[in-house]
């Protein structure tokens, strides 16, 4: 059974967890003061579920993310695992980012102690935190949660028995085509980046799609020195497809409807599947002391010595027009951590 005491514990080995370990090393934290835990060390949900998704991030920013942390040693990454074969101004599938991140993970695992396990609960203890895991206990003075988020489900919203298709399936064209048959009727909730890509994939698989949405389409607006709706606007493949198909054009097998609960419930009674592409919820870690999903969205601080990073704990940003958004993206996480890590290291 594990019984570990350490100064820093990083929970999660997706992109945010990888970043956290690398930046701790860059900040001068000794490798023997860092303990890293994850069930698989395979780039998390990013690789497991979302690798086939077209990114809304340009290749140049992915490359910049990898170069932003000296401990990644990205300069020595094998060329075939880098972005050398891609146009830096284009977007790409997330799988292209998985390759170098897996290489970086292996390099970091050679430097810091790590164990494959899952956190079941945590609680405050003797000026630090006690983490109960699937293989034992860890005491750590400081903990970074990079535990990710899971897609929201339709089940709490509508009291209707339906076949809910996992968002990860709907966003993977290869798996999707093995799951559905042409002319099946699929109801899709949502019209943000994920929702638009789901509609595209389903229509290309020959399905009939009914899309319920709450708000009009929104696109990222590129300005010389900034992007309006940078985090909520459609970009890349999703933006291109939406502009070509979702602005009043008659699209075969597609019906779009402003969300009205009565109409949605009626449609759900006669559909083959439903895809709920309306966002994500942070993974919940049980604690008798606090709700780990609640945090300061400007500092990433959950509680003294407990911090959050990544898609479950994004920075809240306000642009020059007063628009508030959660800042999501690997390079954005890196910039955010540059600001907040000095705060986290104060004791």
Q: Each residue of 278-305: pLDDT tens digit? A: 999 999 999 988 999 999 999 999 999 9
The mean pLDDT of 164-177, rounded to a whole number, is 97
Do 19 and 141 fall within a single domain? Answer: yes
Q: Return the closest-CA partner of residue 111 out of 35, 59, 47.
A: 35
Nearest 5°: phi and psi at 35? Answer: -125, 135
Mean pLDDT, residues 259-279 taken together? 90
The verdict on 143 and 288 lying in the same domain is: yes
The answer on 208 and 291 residing in a single domain is: no
Confidence at 167, pLDDT banded by 50, 70, 90: very high
Report the range of poorest mean pLDDT among 131-135, 169-173, 206-210, 262-266: 262-266
Domain match, 175 and 228 both:
yes
What percent of the chain is predicted at pLDDT more than 70? 99
The answer on 135 and 98 residing in a single domain is yes
Q: Is the pLDDT of residue 159 over 70?
A: no
Let me know whether 170 and 119 are in one domain. Answer: no
Read off the CATH number of the domain in which 211 is found.
3.50.50
User: Residue 2: pLDDT above 80?
Assistant: no
Rounded CA separation 313/146 (Å): 8
What's the pLDDT tens digit per position in 190-227?
999 999 999 999 999 999 999 999 999 999 999 998 99
**Per-residue confidence at 155, pLDDT binned at 50, 70, 90?**
confident
Q: What does the radius of gyration of the chain's CA atoms come to, in whole angstroms?
A: 21
Return the axis-axis angle of helices 193-204 and 236-245, rounded to nearest 10°: 60
Q: Identify whether residues 184 and 326 lie together within a single domain.
A: no
pLDDT of residue 300: 98
159 and 251 fall within a common domain: yes
- Domain C-terminal end among 276, 304, 325: 276
The three-class DSSP label of residue 317 is strand
- Cα–Cα distance, 14 to 26 (Å, whole number): 18
Give the C-alpha distances (Å, rounded to integers) separating 164 from 120, 209, 263.
27, 14, 18
What's the whole-model pTM score? 0.95
Residues 169 and 271 in one domain: yes
pLDDT single digits (tens) 93-109: 999 999 999 999 999 99
Convert the pLDDT of each residue in 229-249 to its tens digit: 999 999 999 999 999 999 988
Domain boundary among 276, 302, 318: 276
Q: In the predicted model, is pLDDT for residue 91 greater than 80? A: yes
- Same domain? For 16 and 124 the reply is yes
Give mean pLDDT, residues 26-40.
98
Candidate from 165-174, 217-226, 264-273 with smallest mean pLDDT? 264-273
Structural domain of residue 223, as residue ranges?
153-276
Question: What does the alpha-carbon distance between residue 201 and residue 195 come to, in Å, rounded to a whole number?
Answer: 10
Residue 260: band (very low, low, confident or very high) from pLDDT cuts 50, 70, 90 = confident
- Name the phi and psi angles at 255, rounded to 5: -125, 130
Last residue of a domain, one of 250, 276, 302: 276
Asked if residue 160 has pLDDT above 90, the reply is: no
Domain count of the fold of the chain = 2
> Average pLDDT of 1-18?
94
Closest CA to 142 of 5, 337, 285, 310: 5
Asked if residue 312 and residue 267 are part of one domain, the reply reads no
Q: Name the pLDDT band for 347 (thresholds 50, 70, 90).
A: confident
């Amino acid at each position: 059974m594990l019984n570990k005491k350490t100064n820093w514990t990083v929970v999660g080995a997706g992109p945010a967890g990888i970043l956290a370990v690398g930046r701790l090393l860059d900040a001068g934290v000794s490798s023997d003061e860092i303990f890293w835990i994850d069930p698989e060390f395979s780039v998390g949900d990013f690789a497991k579920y979302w690798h086939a998704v077209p990114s809304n991030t340009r290749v140049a920013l992915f490359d910049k993310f990898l170069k932003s942390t000296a401990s990644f040693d990205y300069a020595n990454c094998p060329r075939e695992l880098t972005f050398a074969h891609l146009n830096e101004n284009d977007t790409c599938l997330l799988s292209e980012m998985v390759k170098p991140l897996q290489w970086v993970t292996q390099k970091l695992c050679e430097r810091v102690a790590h164990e494959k396990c899952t956190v079941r609960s945590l609680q405050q203890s003797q000026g630090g935190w006690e983490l109960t895991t699937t293989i034992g206990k860890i005491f750590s003075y400081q903990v970074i949660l990079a535990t990710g988020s899971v897609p929201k489900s339709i089940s709490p919203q509508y009291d209707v028995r339906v076949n809910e298709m996992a968002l990860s399936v709907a966003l993977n064209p290869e798996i999707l085509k093995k799951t559905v048959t042409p002319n099946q009727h699929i109801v899709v909730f949502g019209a943000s980046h994920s929702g638009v890509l789901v509609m595209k994939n389903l229509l290309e698989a020959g399905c009939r799609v009914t899309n319920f949405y709450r708000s009009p389409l929104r696109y990222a607006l590129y300005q010389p020195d900034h992007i309006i709706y940078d985090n909520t606007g459609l970009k890349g493949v999703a933006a291109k497809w939406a502009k070509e198909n979702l602005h009043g054009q008659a699209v075969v097998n597609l019906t779009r409807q402003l969300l009205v609960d009565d109409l949605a419930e009626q449609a759900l009674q006669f559909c083959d599947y439903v895809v709920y592409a309306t966002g994500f919820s942070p993974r919940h870690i049980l604690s008798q002391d606090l709700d780990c999903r609640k945090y300061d969205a400007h500092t990433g601080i959950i509680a003294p010595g407990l911090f959050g990073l990544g898609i479950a704990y994004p920075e809240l940003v306000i642009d020059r027009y007063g628009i508030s958004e959660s800042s999501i993206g690997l390079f954005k996480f890196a910039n955010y951590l540059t600001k907040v890590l000095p705060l986290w290291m104060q004791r």
